[in-house]
Amino acid sequence: MKQLTVRGFDDELSDAIRGLARREGISLNKAALRLLRKGAGLDDGSERRGKIGSSLDHLFGSWTQEQVDEMNEALEQFEKIDEDLWR
């Protein structure tokens, strides 16, 4: 079956489909299919395999230069090699 008409979407379900489509940058059709597969227990994770999640996207570009510098300074210690551990 390549095409199916579904009626009776309530506002909550419609919002969920539209939200998923917007977050993932996919069509409403793909979002609806993804949710249907998941609800039917057919979601094997292959859609997300190899993709980086979007849960931190709201943080991109939100730091000031001062915050970036502070974070880079805090991370510097992880760039140092402890020679004693390699002997």
Q: What is the pLDDT of residues 2-50, one digit of tens each?
A: 888 889 989 999 999 999 999 999 999 999 999 998 888 886 555 555 5
User: What burial letters (b/e) apply to 5-35, b meaning 16+ CB within 10 Å?
Assistant: eeeeeeeeeeeebeebbeeeeeeeeebbebe
Model pLDDT, residue 49 = 57
Query: Per the structure block, which two tokens stand in for 50?
Result: 């190899």
Backbone angles phi, psi at 69, to 5 degrees: -60, -40
Q: pTM for this one?
A: 0.48
Model pLDDT, residue 59 = 79
Domain borders along the chain are 11-81
Q: What is the pLDDT of residues 46-86, one digit of tens each?
A: 555 556 777 888 878 888 999 999 999 999 989 988 888 88
Task: Using alpha carbons, select from 23, 16, 30 the residue that is nearest to residue 53.
Answer: 23
Tell me the CA distances in angstroms from 55 to 24, 28, 37, 59, 67, one per residue in order: 11, 20, 22, 9, 20
Model pLDDT, residue 51 = 67
